[in-house]
Amino acid sequence: MPSAADRRQLSRSLPQLAEEDAAGIERFLDAAWAEHGLSRATLSAYRADLQGLARWLRAMARPPLEQARREDLFACLAMRAEAGYSPRSTARLLSSLRAYFAHALRSGARKDDPCALLQPPTLPRLLPKALSEMQVAALLDAPDVTSPTGLRDRAMLELMYAAGLRVSELVGLPATALNLRQGVLRVTGKGGRERLVPLGEESRHWLERYLRDARAPLLASARQPSTVQALFVEADGDAPSRQAFWALVKRCAVAAGIDPAKISPHGLRHSFATHLLNHGADLRALQMLLGHSSLTTTQIYTLVARDRLRNLHAQHHPRA
């Protein structure tokens, strides 16, 4: 798999994006947002994939992206395989291409789909990495709650674990999504789908402390603090970025004695799901709490819970 430095070097060696390709990609992204309500992260991934392919086609003196043939796309996929790109990144690129050319067909820009016979690479089935309940407790205890920033960090971590949020959902929460009196959170997930998630006493406690003691001090230097809509804020009034939250999780993992390599950006979400199943939660209820459109996506957590039960059996049963 090429390193980040190798990918940056390859990107710098490619020509600039042609105006024709840039305009076509933006038209597709506008349509995808309007028709399907795709998230900003998904649109950003589509843009990066399509722009990268368009620049590669131009470097190889092949047709523009909208006119690309099946053999052009196959050549790009073959190049990626030879260069050692991961199957997962190639599968994502192919997903972006399928969406792009499906739109080209619907809009009449093309009469054929060059992706029709392209097969996605076989992906290994990766199980979500969940922390133990003791590790989660240590992680949540890591922020220094004597400062406004530490209180905010503790409230964010508690809420992510209590509600099983995606990172993008957590940092994008508006203050109006929280109803502490009723103990529920309104979350807008993928595809603009809304769900109501109940909050536990611990997360409500830290959210109340954050709102009472930390949010206003954090906004003290903001230009118009009364107009800030985000629930969790930085000093400038903006919501923390996904990258900032990921850095927070890494810092807290180190402070809690957890190997940072063993925790993912969605580590608390995965732990939320796994711990609920371990304590007898219903799979359908878990699907609703996680905001999965398909039960198949939720079922992968049963494999994680089953694996943990197998390990417990092997460790404690006298005839294991």
Q: How many CB atoms lie within 10 A of CB 61?
A: 6
Nearest to 191 by CA among 34, 37, 31: 37
Tens-binned pLDDT, residue by residue, of the chain (320 aa): 445 444 444 555 677 888 999 999 999 999 988 888 777 888 899 999 999 999 999 999 999 999 999 999 999 988 988 888 888 888 899 999 999 999 999 999 999 999 988 887 776 666 667 888 999 999 999 999 999 999 999 999 999 999 999 999 999 999 999 999 999 999 988 777 889 999 989 999 999 999 999 999 998 877 777 678 899 998 888 889 989 999 999 999 999 999 988 888 788 888 988 888 888 887 888 888 888 877 777 777 776 666 565 665 576 667 65
Q: For 105, phi and psi rounded to 5 degrees?
A: -65, -45
Which has the closest alpha carbon to 175: 155, 161, 157?
155
Domain ranges of the chain: 4-107, 133-316
Catalytic sites, residue numbers: 166, 190, 266, 269, 292, 301
- CATH fit for domain 4-107, picks 1.10.150.130, 3.30.930.10, 1.20.1560.10, 2.40.128.20: 1.10.150.130
At the topology level, CATH places domain 133-316 in hpI Integrase; Chain A (1.10.443)
Q: Pull the structure tokens for residue 163.
A: 């509600």
